[in-house]
Structures are given as structure tokens and as C-alpha cells.
């Protein structure tokens, strides 16, 4: 009787160890499946989008104003230009840059930053920058002065087309310069991706406008 009891006890113990080993292996395997697929991506994505520095904030604040003036210039084209190619380009600039403005405003909200670097404009939605008398555009490369914008508003026909193209080339060159600064100094991956997109798109448009100028 004693031998039978001991033998049975050993068998039960061995079976328990086998079951425990199988159960542990399944738990570990399941844990690897869960951890190796979605968990790391979910936890790291918000951290990456939240990472930013002062250069990112400045890029967004200033590029919003820069883009807004480009939209102001583009909106003058339908009623003043006689060139279908200029009209098409202005329409494309509006379609591209307005969503970028909204994207950058979203970043500034997420970062708890003001919409503008100018204290008097902090948190305000400004529909236009070029229409503000006395505003200093000189700090941002490529920005037109109030006098430049008034000249453009009073021109029409071929004179307007030439003036608009020349100004927009300069404006785009300034945006490219600002975007390169962001690539060099920024930390936010999304902001740097937008900066590269600005460089790619606006460099191509500069070439297009320079070619158009030779036909006027």
C-alpha cells in the first residue's frame, strides 16, 4: 500500500509539472504576440508626436503667417490676372497651403503654444497678415511689405501677372529657407516632414514660375 501511494504521488507531481510547463509556455507565447505587434507602436506613437522644441514652435508660428500671405496673394489672381497658367498655379497654392495652415494650428494647440510669436496676436485667429498696417514682415524671409501688397492689389493684366510671379518666387524662396531651418533645428517628426514637403513643392513651383516669367 505504501509503495502504491508513493508511486501515485510521483505520477501526479510529474503530471502537474508538465501541465505547468505547458501552461507557462502558452502564456509566454501569448505575451510575445501581444507585445510584439500593437503594444509598442501604441505606446510610442503619442510620445513621438508630442516631442517638439522651440524651433518647431517658431516654424509653425511663422509658417502660418507666411502661408497666410501667400493665400492673400493667390486670392487676388482670379479678378486681376489674364493668364490661365497663373490662375491655375494660384489655385494650386491655395489648395495646398490652407490645409497646411490648419495642420500647424493643430500642432500649436497640442503644444500649448500661441498661434503667433507676436504677443499682441497670441491666441487670436487672424484671417490676414498682409492687411495689417505697420506689421513688420522683415523678420521672415520672403514676406511682402504692406507697400508691395498695395502695389499688387492695384495692378491688373500682364503687369499684375509679372509682378505676382516675381513676388511669389521671392515668397517661395523665403518659405524654403524657413523650412531648411526647421530641418536643421527642429525635433518634431511631423513638423520636419512638412518642412521637407514645403521644400519639395515650392522649389518645383519656383521653377515653374521662373519659366512662366520668360513667356510674359
Query: Domain segments of the chain: what residues?
Result: 2-37, 50-213
Q: Region 92-106: what's the mean pLDDT? A: 97
Residue 50 clears pLDDT 70, i.e. is over it: no
What does pTM read for this prediction?
0.70
Residue keyed to cell 513667356: 215
Distance CA 131, CA 134 (A): 9
Helix spans in 81-156 (H): 84-110, 146-154
In Å, how far from its chain's centre is CA 97?
Answer: 10
Residue 148 clears pLDDT 70, i.e. is over it: yes
CA separation, residue 192 to residues 101, 127, 199 (Å): 15, 25, 11
Q: Region 100-109: what's the mean pLDDT? A: 97
Q: Region 175-181: what's the mean pLDDT? A: 98
CA separation, residue 20 to residues 17, 24, 29, 76, 164 (Å): 5, 6, 14, 77, 78
Helix axes 54-80, 84-110, angle to 10 degrees: 150
Distance CA 18, CA 162 (A): 85
Angle at 69 (CA atoms; ends 134, 110), nearest 5 degrees: 100
Query: What is the pLDDT, as a whole number, of residue 139?
Result: 73
Distance CA 132, CA 177 (A): 24
Distance CA 140, CA 206 (A): 18
Residue 69 clears pLDDT 50, i.e. is over it: yes
CA-closest candidate to residue 150, choices 170, 167, 174: 167
Q: Is 142 left (phi over 0), alpha (psi -120 to 50) or beta?
A: left
In Å, how far from its chain's centre is CA 22?
Answer: 50
Query: What is the pLDDT, as a whole number, of residue 118?
Result: 64
What percent of the chain shows pLDDT beyond 90?
A: 66
**CATH architecture, domain 50-213:** Up-down Bundle (1.20)
Amino acid at each position: 500500500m505504501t509503495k502504491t501511494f508513493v508511486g501515485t504521488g510521483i505520477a501526479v507531481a510529474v503530471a502537474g509539472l508538465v501541465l505547468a510547463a505547458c501552461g507557462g509556455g502558452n502564456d509566454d507565447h501569448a505575451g510575445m504576440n501581444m507585445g510584439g505587434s500593437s503594444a509598442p507602436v501604441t505606446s510610442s506613437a503619442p510620445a513621438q508626436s508630442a516631442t517638439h522644441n522651440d524651433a518647431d514652435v517658431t516654424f509653425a508660428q511663422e509658417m502660418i503667417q507666411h502661408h497666410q500671405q501667400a493665400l492673400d496673394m493667390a486670392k487676388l489672381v482670379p479678378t486681376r490676372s489674364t493668364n490661365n497658367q497663373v490662375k491655375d498655379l494660384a489655385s494650386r497654392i491655395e489648395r495646398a497651403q490652407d490645409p497646411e495652415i490648419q495642420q500647424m494650428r493643430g500642432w500649436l494647440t497640442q503644444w500649448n503654444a500661441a498661434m503667433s510669436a507676436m504677443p499682441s496676436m497670441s491666441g487670436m485667429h487672424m484671417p490676414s497678415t498682409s492687411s495689417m498696417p505697420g506689421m513688420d514682415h522683415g523678420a521672415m524671409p520672403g514676406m511682402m511689405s504692406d507697400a508691395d501688397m498695395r502695389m499688387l492689389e492695384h495692378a491688373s493684366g500682364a503687369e499684375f501677372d509679372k509682378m505676382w510671379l516675381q513676388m511669389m518666387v521671392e515668397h517661395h524662396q523665403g518659405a524654403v529657407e524657413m523650412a531648411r531651418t526647421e530641418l536643421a533645428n527642429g525635433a518634431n517628426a511631423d513638423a520636419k516632414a512638412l518642412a521637407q514637403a514645403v521644400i519639395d513643392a515650392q522649389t518645383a513651383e519656383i521653377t515653374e514660375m521662373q519659366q512662366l516669367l520668360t513667356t510674359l
